[in-house]
Structure formats: C-alpha cells, structure tokens
Structure 1
Amino acid sequence: MECWVRFNAQSQAKERVIRAAQYACTLLGYMLQKGGVATELHQTIRHLEGHMSLTRKLLRLGNSVEALEAAKRAIHLSDSVLRLCLTISHLNRAMYFACDNILWAGKTGLISKLDQDKWNQRSLRYYLFALILNLTRDTYELRLLIEYEERCRAAKSSSSLCPSTIVSADHISSSPTASASIALPVMLARLSRQIHLLLTVLYSNPPLLLDLLKNSCDIFIPLDRLGIYPTGPGFVGVCGLASSVLSILTMVNPWLKIKP
C-alpha cells in the first residue's frame, strides 16, 4: 500500500499509466486490423488512442521547466561524459516537451492554423536525439562497470595463479601447432566469458538494466514515426507498452531508477 500511495502521489504517474493504455490500444488496433474485425470497432480503438495521446499532452504541460532544472543539475556532474550526455539529453527533452505543448494547443484549437505535421516532426526529432544520448549514457556506464568487474576478476586470478601454471601456458602458446589447434576454443571461451561478464554486470545493476531496456524500446517509436526505420504499429505498440510498464516499475520502486 505504501508503494501505491507514493506512486499515485507523483505527477508523472498518471501520464505513465495513460501512456501504457495508449500503446495497448495501438497494439490492440493492429491486432484487430490483422484479424479482419469490423471497421467500426477498429475506428473506436483509434479514436480512444487519440484521446489518450491528447490527455498525455495535457498532463505534460510544464515538463519543460522540470527538464531544464534537470539539465542545470547535470551540468555540475564530475564525469565529463555523463555531464555532456545528460545535459544535452535534458535540453532536448525540454524542447520535445515545448513542441508537444504547442501541438496540444493546436489540437485543442487554442492555436489556429498550426502546421501540426511540422511540429510533430520537430517533437519526434528532439525525442529521438534525447533517447540516443540516454542510450549512449547507458552504454558508457555499462562499459565502466564491465571494466571494473574485469579488474576485480584479474586481481583475484593473479593472486591464486601458480608459477608452474604460467610457465606451462607460455610453453603452449610458443608452439605454432598448439596455437592453431586451440585458437577457436580460446576465442569461444573468451566470448563466453565476455557474455557471462555482461550478464553478471546487468544482473547486479537492475537500474541500469531497466533503463537500457526502456530506452531501447522507446527508440523504435520515433524511428518508425519519422520513417527512418519503419517497424509498423504492432511493434511500436509492443515497445511503447513495454517501456511504459518499465517506467511505472521505476516509479513504484524508486531504487530502480538510474542515478544520476
């Protein structure tokens, strides 16, 4: 109950729930269309999806200010890569929300004769660039954690390695025939170790794993709608629904939210 109270008290919680419902409607509409269901029902689902999208835009009014404040905090980070990625990402989010607010005003009739297609394209481009920077940040943090884990393992293995083992290994590697015969198994073993290391690091860092999955799902949405990498409404619906559920999960459990 305490988690639910904390979740419901957040201003973005309702927007995340409506976002999940919106992309669920996108997926449902695609499935109904593929199944040859009546056009009236399909149109009803489309209208419901449009209303949810408009409601989300209303709930996001003022989010540009929050994004600018986040950019001001990120600019003081000590790590230069994180500082660059997060600051520019938050600035792009601020522009994305600003374009989104203008779109909401155009759709509701507050701004007449607004070129909604043009502003929608601008909004999606800012959104895409912010997601690219977020994924860059996730990849950078993942690389740092992998390097740290490798150093820890190397320190443990070097302390337990016997001198006789080192001599034997050098003797084997000096033989051309032996090197050729063990090249493929060594490469496979190294690849297996790298995959195991990657999975270990991700398993040990749930906030990074969730953020990486969420951004990876989200990025297909602007790619599809900008026509850069069309995937279809069904795939977009699945990605949007999955990323929304992950976002809700980080709100219910704040320790799962990546920091900074």
Structure 2
Amino acid sequence: MGAPAARGIYSPAQEQSGRFGGRGRTEPRPALPAGTPVVSRGLGWREMQRQSALRDPTKHRRATQYTRMLLTYLLEPKAGKEEVVMKLKKLESRVSTGRKWFRLGNVVHAVQATEQSIRATNPVPRLCLTLANLNRVIYFVCDTVLWVKSVGLASGINKDTWRRRAARHYCCFLLLSLVRDVYEISLQMGRVACDRARREESSSWDLPAYSVADEETEWLQSFLLLFRSLKHHAPLLLDTVKNFCDILIPLDQLGIYKPNTGIIGLGGLMSSVAGIITVAYPQMKLRTR
C-alpha cells in the first residue's frame, strides 16, 4: 500500500478514490447543464495582464514606470529610504528607456488610427480624431528624433526644442481627444434624458408645478445625469479618464501647469490601468462611429 495522504490536503486522486475528508465512498459532483459557461476563479486579473502584455507590451512598461514614480514620491521624504529611492529611480529610467524601443510600432499604430478615423461617419468625431491622430504621429516622430540624439546617432539636434515640440503635439492630441469625449458625453446625456422623460411621461398623469427649488437642484440633476450617462457607457468613461490623466504630462513639460511628481505618477498609473483594460477587453474600447 502507498503512503497515506496528508490530512486536510485535497487532490483529484483523493476525490476519485473516495478518501478525501475521511469518507469511504465516492461522492460524484453533479453534472453541469449543457451550455453552462465555466468561469475560472482567481485568474481574472492575471489573465487580463497576460492578454494585454501579449497585445501591447508598452502598456505594462508604462504602468511600471509611473508606479515607480509614485512610489519614489511617497518614499523620498521618509528617512532611511534613500537606497530604496535610488533603486526605484534607476528602475524607472530603465523602463522608460525600454519603452522607447517600441516607438516604431507606435508610429504604425498611429498611422492606422488616422486612416480609421477618416472613415468615421459622424463628422465631429471624424474631425477631432483625424487631427488628434495626426498630432500623435508628429509626436512620435519628434520622440524618435530625441531618441536618435540620445543614442548618439546624430548631432546638431536641439534637445530642448524637440522636447517642447513633442510635448506640444502630444498636448494637442489629448485636447482633441477630450473634445471628442465631451461631444460623446453630451450625446449620451441627451439619450439618457430623453429616456427618463419618456418614462416619467408614461408613468405619471399630472406633471408637478414648477418651483424655485427646481433651479436650486438643477446642478445636482445635471451631475446625476452625467453620472448615469457614464455609468451606462463604460468605454466612454475609461477613455475620458485616460485622456484627462494623460494631459497632466505635457502640461507639466510645457510649463502650463506644474503638478508634483506624485500627481503625475498617479495620473500616469490610472491612465495605464485604463489602457490595459481596453487592450485586454477590446469591447471596453471607445469605438469610432
């Protein structure tokens, strides 16, 4: 006879032999009905990370870079953390350098996004996204010029000029993307308001009289309407959060708004997580109509 199994440890062989839990008989599990989906437990976030890393590895590198930036900001004022802070800064520099090797793929993706936006049927998103993606292409070109200068492949390049030029086009890209988001939000709020008015009209016979209190709560109603609109449109919420968090970076580089590194790190991390979600789950990406 083989060695007895350890108590309290479950294995498939024990279940088949009927020795699990001290029972002397086998208790087969009930069969699932045909067509029932099987859900894997505890692997949702890891599976999402694996899929997003395969489809777009720059998202994970970006999230790692801004996580290190945020941790550096939080640990730097504390005594005795100097060595940890130095290691985090070196790791952040290495990750930032590693991300730059994917710039060629970024340029190709931006050109493809420009071609797709030109074919949009709605004129407002078509204009905003086409101009935004053109600015994104120019931004990646400027970033490539900076990389050529940093590795010593070319001389005579003014690094500060090209850095500001890249930040300016990146800022234009994000501003135009936010304009598109605001337009989509206004359309979604209009749909939600029409649906609500239609339900109230069908469910009530007498309309309440207008009062001054309606004016006082108008801002609250507008906020609730915005909340309901984004609640029922997760891709639009993710895209808006991503663009809003990203715009802090070029605003800091251009000197328009100077947040601390903690805010930049937190914004970059939130934007990266939103990007990872849209890569892992393509249905969460805001579509161009």
Indicate the TM-score class for this superposition, using the shorter chain for normalisation: 0.7 to 0.9
Q: Which 4+ stretches in 1 moved above 6 angstroms?
A: none
Partners of 2:74 and 2:220 in 1: how far apart?
39
Match of 1:230 in 2: 258
Alpha-carbon displacement from aligned partner over 1:69-126 (angstroms, at most 9, x marks no partner): 2112211212111011100011011011111111122212222343222211111111
TM-score (norm 2): 0.77
Q: 2:153 aligns with which of 110, 132, 141?
A: 110
Letter in 2 for 1:202: L
Letter in 2 for 1:235: I
1:194 shift after superposition: 2.0
Match of 2:52 in 1: 7
1:155 shift after superposition: 2.2
Partners of 1:41 and 1:6 in 2: how far apart?
31
Distance 1:125 1:36, change over 3 A: farther
1:256 shift after superposition: 0.8
Unaligned segments of structure 2, at least 5 residues: 1-42
Number of residue equivalences: 243
SS in structure 1 at match of 2:251: helix
Partners of 1:131 and 1:234 in 2: how far apart?
21
The percent identity for this pair of structures is: 37
Distance 1:234 1:148, change over 3 A: same
Distance 1:109 1:153, change over 3 A: same
Partners of 2:120 and 2:88 in 1: how far apart?
45
Please state if 1:132 is matched with 2:175: yes
Contact persistence 1:58–1:101 (CA under 8 A): no
Query: Which residues in structure 2 correspond to 1:24-103 (within 5 Å)?
Result: 24-37=67-80, 39=82, 41-103=84-146
Partners of 1:115 and 1:32 in 2: how far apart?
34
1:127 shift after superposition: 0.8
Letter in 2 for 1:9: L
Unaligned segments of structure 1, at least 5 residues: 174-181
Structure with bigger helix share is: 1
Letter in 1 for 2:249: I
Letter in 1 for 2:121: S
1:62 shift after superposition: 3.8
Match of 2:8 in 1: none
Distance 1:3 1:232, change over 3 A: closer
1:217 shift after superposition: 0.8
Letter in 1 for 2:54: A
1:57 shift after superposition: 1.2
Distance 1:230 1:4, change over 3 A: closer
Letter in 1 for 2:261: P
Partners of 1:47 and 1:7 in 2: how far apart?
25
Partners of 1:22 and 1:37 in 2: how far apart?
23
Match of 2:35 in 1: none
Partners of 1:115 and 1:43 in 2: how far apart?
29
1:202 shift after superposition: 0.7
Match of 2:59 in 1: 16
Q: 2:194 aligns with which of 151, 157, 161?
A: 151
Contact persistence 2:53–2:60 (CA under 8 A): no
Letter in 2 for 1:77: A
SS in structure 1 at match of 2:147: helix
Partners of 1:161 and 1:28 in 2: how far apart?
55
SS in structure 2 at match of 1:34: coil
Partners of 1:151 and 1:72 in 2: how far apart?
34
Partners of 1:157 and 1:41 in 2: how far apart?
59
Match of 2:15 in 1: none
Letter in 1 for 2:120: L
Partners of 1:6 and 1:29 in 2: how far apart?
28
Give the structure with higher Rg (CA): 2
Partners of 2:161 and 2:83 in 1: how far apart?
30
Letter in 2 for 1:124: A
